[in-house]
Amino acid sequence: MNAPPGAPHDHTHFRDDEASISYYRTMEIAVRELLVEKNVFSLADVRAQIEAMDARTPARGARVVARAWTDAAYRERLLANGAAACEELGLELGPLKLVVVENTPQTHNVIVCTLCSCYPRMLLGLPPDWYKSREYRSRVVREPRRVLEEFGTRLPDAVSIRVHDSTADMRYLVLPMRPTDTDGMNEAQLASRVSRDAMIGTTVIDR
Amino acid sequence: MKLQANHDMGGLTAGRIVPREHTYEPWEKRVDALMMLLSNKDRQLLKVDELRRNIETLGPSAYERMTYYERWMHAICQTLVQRGVITLDELGRRMEEVKARGALPDEGAG
Amino acid sequence: MQAIGMYGIEPRGAPHVEACFHDGDAVRVRVAFPPGHVRTPFYCRGKVGVIERLCGAFPNPEELAYNRSGLPAQPLYRVRFTSRDLWPGLNAPHGDVVEIEIFQHWLEPMEAA
């Protein structure tokens, strides 16, 4: 299902779609061919880009979170400058500016982009469909508690909610609270407890 | 007159969140890759805000009807034409050629 | 004026507008509806918030959208709004807030009370 895109063996997988190839798929092929002919990039560049994309999964964000849970000084650096702290772990964020927002017993954070779909893709990969949906983008800034309930997350009124609307050059990652049943776990074990949605802030990690 | 642009939807009422996600198809990833390559600092043939502007100028009904990467493909294409990187003439001809070939979505990418 | 924020000036060394708000300052988002590519959400226009932090200075996206330089770079702030101010009548808990990145040219100072 996750065969390397663009690899020749994908062709058999797509034969069924041959008749219904859509307007925009046709456009993608045409534009890509034209740009390769104009030496804007090569097919190898496209493949490399997709491989890099496939390598970016929520496991990256989870590594950052697990380190912050186990190393107080790292946590400080992460909250002070997200991108620099990620680079310490070999996670190159490119031009991305990262603001890490920390959940506490008093405050819960959740991220959204109401204008388009800005997302910490270098740490979490491509966003899920619901993150880009009209429903999520419209509602989470206005009624975050009801939206979180739809994700099964119920927060008492005593816990304040901070919604972060990614409207410009910053990207956000939620640093969830460390579950209480994780004493003695190593970083890898901790990372396996960190879900993508907990780093978006729509869920909390069960403790 | 409606002053609130269609894409600027924060605070509007909307239905329940459907926790939908799908494994991105190869063609969707290639559209994403096109954007990343064109906006790369070595090429600078597309700015992310140009992409967004070209998405935002889709009419409301097109915006809602099209899938996410269809909107991106539309906007990448518009930007390239606006910048003179490709012409509509060559694009139109090439798209017809691609159709006539009965090309598979992955043709030429492998 | 305050030192440009933690994320610096983008692109590095580019001409930029000096930052005129400080953390904690109350600001009002300008009310304007220019057609085009604007990154100030409709729902916060005319609302009063507080500067949470200065992020840095970045090219103006309204200009980048037309393939211009967007320079001088504009100071970008994270502005904190209470949910009660944004959505009067919804009676959100007092601590609930929404934080939005807003460029300086969309902000005006609140007169000192």
A183: domain CATH number?
Answer: 3.90.330.10
Q: Residue C41 has which token pair?
A: 């959400």
Counting the structural domains of chain A, the total is 2
What part of C 3-62 touches B (C-beta under 8 Å)?
33, 36-38, 41-43, 61
pLDDT at A10 over 50: no
Kindly report, residue by residue over B58-86, the tens digit of the pLDDT. 989 999 999 999 999 999 999 999 999 99
Residue A1 lies in a domain: no
Kindly report, residue by residue over A168-194, the tens digit of the pLDDT. 999 999 999 999 999 999 999 999 999
pLDDT of residue A5: 39
Residue B2 lies in a domain: no
- The residue among A21 and B96 whose pLDDT is bigger is B96
Residue B78 structural domain? 26-101
Residue A172 structural domain? 56-200
Same domain, A80 and A113: yes
Counting the structural domains of chain B, the total is 1
Q: Which residues of C touch A99 (CB under 8 A)?
A: 55, 78
pLDDT at A46 over 80: yes
pLDDT of residue C3: 76
pLDDT at B106 over 70: no
pLDDT at B104 over 90: no
Distance between CA atoms of residues C78 and C96, nearest Å = 16
Residue B3 lies in a domain: no
Q: Is A112 helix (H, G, I), strand (E, B) or coil?
A: strand
pLDDT at A3 over 70: no
pLDDT of residue C111: 75
Same domain, A44 and A74: no
Same domain, A143 and A96: yes
pLDDT at C41 over 70: yes
Mean of pLDDT over chain A: 91
Same domain, A147 and A95: yes
A16 Cβ partners below 8 Å, 6+ apart?
none
Task: Please give the class, per CATH, of domain C26-109.
Answer: mainly beta
The average pLDDT across B29-42 equals 96
Helices (H), chain B: 26-39, 48-56, 60-65, 68-82, 88-101
Residue B110: band (very low, low, confident or very high) from pLDDT cuts 50, 70, 90: very low
Helices (H), C1-113: 61-64, 83-86
Kindly report, residue by residue over A98-157, the tens digit of the pLDDT. 999 999 999 999 999 999 999 999 999 999 999 999 999 999 999 999 999 999 999 999
Run of H or E including A121: helix A121-124
Residue B87 lies in a domain: yes
Segments making up each domain of chain C, as ranges: 26-109
| CATH code of B57's domain | 1.10.472.20
Distance between CA atoms of residues A54 and A57, nearest Å = 7
pLDDT of residue C47: 98
**Is B35 in the A-facing interface, judged by CB distances under 8 Å?**
no
Same domain, A32 and A68: no
Q: Which residues of B touch C38 (CB under 8 A)?
A: 5, 8
- Give B1 to chain A, closest Cα distance, Å: 20
Residue A48 lies in a domain: yes
